[in-house]
Amino acid sequence: MALVKEVYEIAEKIKNMEIRGAGKIARSAALALQIQAEKSKAKTADELWKELKEAAKLLHSTRPTAVSLPNALRYVMYRGKIAYQGGADLEQLKFIVINAAKEFIHNSEKAIERIAEFGAKRIEDGDIIMTHCHSKAAISVMKKAWEEGKEIKVIVTETRPKWQGKLTAKELAEAGIPVIYVVDSAARHYMKMTDKVVMGADSITANGAVINKIGTALIALTAKEHRIWVMIAAETYKFHPETMLGQLVEIEMRDPYEVIPKEELETWPKNIEVWNPAFDVTPPEYVDVIITEKGVIPPYAAIDILKEEFGWAFKYTEPWED
């Protein structure tokens, strides 16, 4: 049983953050399953299903916190599983999996456009917006507002230790938007000149808490203190189904060498530990609205999105596990 090389390549790129951002991770995972189905040498539906489960397991293991990844795999694999259990032959199973992957990728790209439209309505002419990390959904809201002729300015935090703020700053600037780039710890200092905070999410729990890049919670807390609106732009596949069953989201710990280069850390006293959490949790009371492709909701309505989108997910074990 062989996985095609593209699956290994995509998994490796997700793991080492060459592919980053929840949406891109999700679309890449769906694409990996699509390529596995397209290029598989399997002779029977049984063989193909085994390969797909193997590919899904490998992809699932790459990034524990980015819920978009398992949700993309679920989207494709549940449709495959239903077909497989219903007795689909090899060609039918291939067709259904390839189709489901393409559908997921298409819906995901369309979702960004819808979020941009809904979110831009909440931005006013002259607003100074603060953002953190690099979120395609959040950027789309700001770009759309700018395209609509609203004169905005964006304060971008650098987002240590991987500097995702650099990507955001360049992307906004290329669209013509004036950008102010600051260190993370300057967020409170500049909050008083900020009108709105717009950020993305890696994952949203059943009670509306937002899991996003480390530093997000601090910015949301500071905005709350200054009575400034916090808007989270997130596609519905960022909502975390397991949290309805009481599971807590695991926060990924990354390599300490991202914070302090290896050569330097090796010269430090041995009783210094470097901790590098990738994400933090922003409580729902620090979030004003979540902008999804289905509309703008308050955080406590997250449970409704989960029931609507993933209600079916509670009747099964993961489709790559049984």
Catalytic positions, written as ranges: 133, 202
Strand 153-157 to 128-131 pairing: parallel
> Helical H runs in the chain?
5-15, 22-39, 45-60, 68-85, 90-120, 136-147, 164-174, 187-191, 216-225, 262-265, 302-310
Token representation of residue 107: 């819906």
Token representation of residue 234: 């997130």
Q: Is 313 in a helix, a strand, or coil? A: helix
What is the rounded CA–CA span in Å between residue 99 and residue 179?
40
What is the rounded CA–CA span in Å between residue 143 and residue 136?
10
Q: What proportions of the chain, in percent to the nearest 5, are helix, strand and coil?
A: 55, 15, 35
Cβ partners under 8 Å of residue 117, min gap 6: 144
